[in-house]
A and B are shown apart, each in its own frame.
Chain A
Amino acid sequence: MPDVKLTIDGEPVAVPTGTTILKAAEHLGRSIPTICYHDHCTANGLCRICVVEVSGVGPLVPACLTPVNEGMKVTTASARAERSRRTILEMLASAVDLSEAPEIQKFIGEYRAQGARFPEAQRREYPVLDDNPMYIRDYSKCILCWRCVQVCAADAQFTYAINFTGRGFETGIGTFFDKPMPETTCVFCGQCVGVCPTGALKPKRESLLEQGLRPDEIIEATRGGGNRRGKPR
Chain B
Amino acid sequence: MSDPDLTRLRSMLAELASQGRSALLPALHAAQRLYGWLSEPVATEVGRALGVPLADLHGVIDFYAMFYRRPVGKTVVRVCGAPVCALAGADSVADALCRHLNTRPDEISSDGEFTVEHAPCLGLCDQPPALLVGESALGRAAPEQAADICARSRRRAVSFVGGDMRSLTVNCGDGQPTSLTEYRDRGGYAGLRKALTMTPQAVLAEVKASGLVGRGGAAFPTGIKWEGAAKAQGQPRYIVCNADESEPGTFKDRILMEEDPHRTIEGMIIAAYAIGASRGYIYVRGEFPCAFKVMGEAVEEARQAGALGKTIFGAGLDFDIEMRLGAGAYICGEETALLESIEGKRGFPRIKPPFPATHGLFGKPTVINNVETFCNVPLILERGAAEYRKIGTEKSPGPKLFCVSGQIQRPGLYEMPFGVALRHLLFDLAGGPNPGRKLQAVLMGGAAGAFAIEKDLDVLLSFEQLSAAGLPLGSGAVMVFDDTADMREVLRRTAHFFADESCGKCYPCQLGTVRQYEILDRVASGHAVSGDRERLLDVGGTMIDASLCGLGQTAATAVLSGMKVWPELFEAGGKGRRAKGKEQSANSKEQE
Contacts and interface: CB of A to CB of B under 8 A. Distances in A.
Contacts of B43: 176-177
B346 A88 contact: no
Contacts of A90: 538
Given A45-B351, A84-B545, A176-B55, A92 B69 contact: no
Given A88-B507, A168-B502, A175 B542 contact: no
Contacts, number: 150
Interface stretch (B316-324, B440-448, B513-521): B513-521
A29 to B, nearest CB: 25
Contact of A184 (B55, B329, B541): B55
Interface string B532-558: 000100110110111110000100000
A203 B400 CA distance: 60
Contacts of B340: none
Nearest to A164: B59
Interface string A164-186: 11111111001111000000110
A51 B545 contact: yes
Tell me the dominant secondary structure on chain B's binding face: helix
Nearest to A80: B545
Contact of B539 (A49, A91, A144): A91
A44 B504 CA distance: 13
A88 B542 contact: yes
B507 A45 contact: no
10 contacts: A45-B351, A47-B507, A51-B546, A87-B542, A95-B511, A144-B510, A164-B59, A165-B59, A166-B504, A171-B504
Contacts of A224: none
B63 interface: yes
Interface in B560-578: none
B57 interface: yes
A84 to B, nearest CB: 4
Interface in B209-258: none
Interface string B464-507: 00000000000000000000000000000000000111111111
Contacts of B66: none
Interface string A86-113: 1110111011000000000000000000
B344 interface: no
Contact of B514 (A87, A122, A161, A177): A122
B53 interface: yes
A119 B531 CA distance: 10
A48 B506 contact: yes
B43 to A, nearest CB: 7
Given A88-B508, A91-B539, A169 B499 contact: yes
B69 A44 contact: no
Interface residues of A, number: 49
B53 A92 contact: no
Given A91-B515, A119-B529, A121-B515, A45 B346 contact: no
A59 B553 contact: yes
Contact of B503 (A81, A92, A120, A167): A167
Contacts of B506: 45-48
A168 B507 contact: no
Q: Nearest 10 pairs between A and B by C-beta?
A: A160-B53, A171-B504, A176-B54, A91-B511, A163-B55, A163-B59, A168-B502, A87-B542, A164-B59, A84-B546
Contact of B56 (A118, A119, A160): A160
Interface in B37-55: 40, 43-44, 47, 53-55
Given A168-B504, A168-B513, A45 B541 contact: no
Contacts of A167: 62-63, 329, 346, 502-504
B423 interface: no
B55 A161 contact: yes
B541 A168 contact: no
